[in-house]
A and B are shown apart, each in its own frame.
Chain A
Amino acid sequence: MREKLQIERIETDVLIVGGGTAGCYAALTVARNSGKRVLIAEKANMKRSGCLAAGVNAINAYIVKGRTPEDYVDYATKDAAGIVRRDLLLSAARRFNDVTADMESLGLVILKDENGDYVARGNRNIKINGENFKPILAKAVAKEENIQVLNYVNITDLLVEHNQVYGAVGFSIVDEKAYIIEAKAVLVATGGAAGLYRPNNPGFSRHKMWYPPFNTGAGYAMGLRAGAEMTSFEMRFIALRCKDTIAPTGTIAQGVRAKQVNSKGFVYEDKYGITTSERVYGTVKENQLGNGPCYLRTSVITEEQDQQLLKAYLNMAPSQTLKWIESGKMPSEQDVEIQGTEPYIVGGHTASGYWVDTHRQTTIDGLYAAGDVAGGCPQKYVTGALAEGEIAALSILDKWKTAEEIPPTDSIQKQADAVIQEYEKIRNTNTPVFTTEELEEAMQKIMDEYAGGISSYYQYNEKQLNLADEKIEQLLKLSDEIGASDMHELLFAYELKERLLVCKALIAHLKNRKETRWHSFNENLDHPDTDSRYFKYVNSRLENGTIHIQFRDIVKEDTYEHKDQ
């Protein structure tokens, strides 16, 4: 037996799980508006953790001159074929510009014209230098006395009884330590889930992917295990990216207005449409028809534009700049080949995540969600994550005024003990048959082949989904037997378990949307058309190990409260 983990108990007012964009901004909001203590538990180090490690080169959710938050809601609603929460989109959109102004005051560089106005890129975007977006935010957090940051602490489980959250349990990935954190309110801001499907580059560069490979669906998994309701997992996100480097295409498509063309030079985007999913679908279809590879036609741009593109990519996806230079051919000399990524589950581009009310409270009392882990509010992007962090934080503070305090019970302690017991079990499993990595590969292969991954052109039918379900269930069982030789391996073990549970929920969602509402994102071969009977949210809960699906009516009001818990 190994020496047992040292157990550290911490008590705080607000626990924030995940120190990315949403989590940091929520912490700042609590600190600026109250004297409450905030604790951020971050599994890496806050300085560059989360989606913005490499940077970001535009604010893609902004209300530009002449537009209104309502316009934004209309756009996002149309793009997601109506499966959005109006109240969430509207409340986020109303804050896009204020949170942007705040980031500028903290040091973010934003491009301005001669009148001092921000320069728009398209109808909803402004141009920035976001290479250091996250360090700017992290620095502001570090200055606040009431915010404590626990770096390298991975939270695995929420402590919930009678549908009320009391805190969470986790472990350090650098020290042999477990944490029991008691809190009066908990905000989950862990981001979405990458690594469920076999990636574009399955070999050495397996982590050269669109979404951070370190976002493993922890927030979804802990919510599901605690009985929280989730929404829209079946609205998967597939990014259209530059081939191999998986660098963004928007900078080229919007920045230099490059069109999508097939290998014959035909501009196919006009044929399939220009919603987010149609842009991916068109590329997939053209490849299926034998018209690939597909490209962004950059060979019409100038050498000066080349230089600007090289710089723009250094600020968010430097591998693309390196690729251009290595190949010896600039974008003006050679079109940029594009491809769809493996599917991800996110709430910032598409709408997968916790089912929350307008205040961003989940279906569990005192538990909030913001950013990619929160559902119903697609295309919120970075400013939406900031806005949701702010909304959740203000809601938490507001609730404080009326809420009566319910002390935790013995059963909460027992829950915490059971979680730590599981850590010990994994740490003391010495000769498992399968490694975490082997099971991860198996999971990605199953999802790829049977649940609509890259190799099946994102398509699936019910029979395949049933097989996927059966096989993922088997892996879930096998994942109970894995071991970990150090704390970092314990993290890998939990990341696998999280992903498997998210896969299980995802398969249930895909099976229950018996239509094809968004090409490629949910391409159901048994039901290839949109069906108005499915103009509903597909929601889920985990009860006694089974995913229960509930269809909910589309919310058209400006506010939404949880009613039927």
Chain B
Amino acid sequence: MSIKINKEKCVGCKKCQEVCPGTLIAIEDHKAVIKYPRNCWGCVSCVKECAAGAIDFYLGADIGGTGSVMNVTKSGDFLHWNIRKPDGSEIVIDVNRKNSNQY
């Protein structure tokens, strides 16, 4: 369970660092790095916060991960959850933040 931060995309805004409930992200040379990847809870707060789309979330191989990654983009009331599979195919799930869960 952890995240990968894409250095090319990271703009060094520090927002991910602020929202991590474990303070696991540090800024080194103006770029975010995950200091303790094994300590990640998988809450995805940083992924949701990153406007640059620089943070990918993935499942560790020890919990069945097969290499797909997930990130989130926002527009208006929507969160767009983008999942990219290892074969390059993509799935997007849109969640309206004004809608409640049905279950």
* Nearest-neighbor residue (CB-CB) of A138 within chain B: B19
Asked if B42 contacts A326 (CB within 8 A), the reply is: no
Contact A209 B44 (CB under 8 A): no
Specify which chain B residues have a CB less than 8 angstroms from the CB of A516 in the assembled complex.
none
A318 contact from B65, B81, B99, Cβ within 8 A: B81
A53 and B41 within 8 A (CB): yes
Q: A53-B21, A314-B95, A318-B44 are in contact. Are A109 and B100 (CB under 8 A)?
A: yes
Bound form: Cα–Cα A443–B92 in Å = 42
In the complex, the chain B residue whose C-beta lies closest to that of A245 is: B63
Task: Judge whether A109 and B1 touch: CB under 8 Å.
Answer: no
In contact, B68 and A129 (Cβ under 8 angstroms): no
Q: Flag if B68 contacts A214 (CB, 8 Å).
A: no
B93 within 8 A of A: yes
Contact A127 B41 (CB under 8 A): no
Known contacts A111-B101, A127-B102, A128-B100; is-contact A45 B1 (Cβ 8 Å):
no
Find B97's partner among A132, A321, A326 (CB 8 Å cutoff).
A132
A322 adjacent to B40 (CB under 8 Å): no
Question: A498 → chain B, closest Cβ, in Å?
Answer: 15
Taking CB atoms, residues of chain A closer than 8 Å to B81 are 314, 318, 321
Docked complex Cα distance between A322 and B60 (Å): 11
Question: How far does the alpha carbon of A551 sit from the alpha carbon of B41 in the complex, in Å?
Answer: 37
A326 touches B21 (CB 8 A): no
Q: Tell me the nearest residue of chain A to B35, going by C-beta.
A: A488
Residue of A at shortest CB range from B45?
Answer: A48
Q: Is B13 an interface residue (CB 8 A)?
A: no
Q: Are A110 and B100 in contact (CB under 8 A)?
A: yes
Query: Closest approach, in angstroms, between the C-beta of A539 and any C-beta of chain B?
Result: 31
The verdict on B6 contacting chain A, using a C-beta distance below 8 Å, is no
C-alpha spacing A308/B99, complex, angstroms:
11
The interface residues of chain A lying within 8 Å CB-to-CB of B91 are 325
Cβ A152 vs Cβ B103 within 8 A: no
Is B52 in contact with chain A by the CB < 8 A criterion? Answer: no
In the bound complex, what is the Cα–Cα distance between A45 and B45 (angstroms)? 12
Chain B residue at smallest Cβ distance from A54: B43
**Which residues of A sit under 8 angstroms from B4, Cβ to Cβ?**
none
- Closest CB-CB distance, A19 to chain B, in whole Å? 11
CB distance from B69 to the nearest CB of A (A): 9
Could you give, for residues 22-43 of chain B, a 1 whenever the CB lies within 8 Å of some chain A CB and a 0 otherwise?
1100000000000101111111
- List CB contacts (< 8 Å) of B80-103 with chain A: 81, 83, 85, 91, 93, 95, 97-103
**Contact (Cβ within 8 A) B99 A109:** yes
Q: What is the interface size of chain A, counting residues whose CB is below 8 A from a CB of the partner?
A: 59
Contact of A127 among B38, B42, B95, B101 (CB under 8 A): B101
Q: Are B95 and A111 in contact (CB under 8 A)?
A: no
Report the separation of the CA atoms of residues A207 and B19 in the bound assembly, to the nearest whole angstrom. 17
Residue B20, interface by CB 8 Å? yes
Report the minimum CB–CB distance from A243 to chain B (whole Å).
9
Find out whether the CB atom of B42 lies under 8 angstroms from the CB atom of A208: yes
Stretch binding the partner chain, chosen from A72-80, A249-257, A376-384: A249-257
- Do residues A315 and B62 form an inter-chain contact, with CB atoms below 8 A? no
**Which residues of chain A have C-beta atoms less than 8 A from B76's C-beta?**
none
Query: Looking at the complex, which one of A57, A129, A213, A315 makes contact with B41 (CB distance below 8 Å)?
Result: A213
At the interface, yes or no: A319 with Cβ under 8 Å from chain B? Answer: yes
The reply to whether A208 and B41 contact each other, CB–CB distance below 8 Å, is: yes
User: Given A311-B93, A312-B102 in contact, is the A207-B65 Cβ separation under 8 Å?
Assistant: no
- Contact with A255, one of B39, B60, B103 (Cβ below 8 angstroms): B103
* Chain B positions within 8 Å of A326 at CB level: 59, 64-66, 68, 85
Smallest CB gap from A131: residue in B:
B97
Whether the pair B2, A212 counts as a contact (CB closer than 8 A) is no
Give the chain A neighbours of B20 by CB distance below 8 A: 44-45, 48
The residue on A at minimum CB distance from B86 is: A326
Q: How long is the Cα–Cα vector from A3 to B97 in the complex, in angstroms?
A: 49
A-B contact sample (13 more), CB < 8 A, given A47-B18, A209-B41, A323-B63: A48-B19, A53-B21, A129-B100, A204-B37, A205-B42, A205-B60, A252-B103, A254-B103, A308-B101, A318-B44, A318-B57, A322-B70, A323-B59
4 A-B pairs closest in CB distance: A255-B103, A111-B100, A54-B43, A244-B63
* Chain A interface residues toward B at CB < 8 A: 43-45, 47-50, 53-54, 57-58, 109-111, 119, 121, 127-132, 152, 173-174, 201, 203-209, 212-214, 244-245, 251-252, 254-256, 308-312, 314-315, 318-319, 321-323, 325-327, 488
Residue pairs across A and B with Cβ atoms less than 8 A apart, 22 shown, are A45-B20, A49-B21, A111-B102, A128-B100, A174-B23, A203-B60, A205-B1, A205-B2, A205-B62, A207-B40, A212-B41, A213-B22, A255-B101, A310-B93, A311-B95, A311-B102, A312-B101, A319-B57, A321-B81, A322-B68, A325-B83, A326-B85
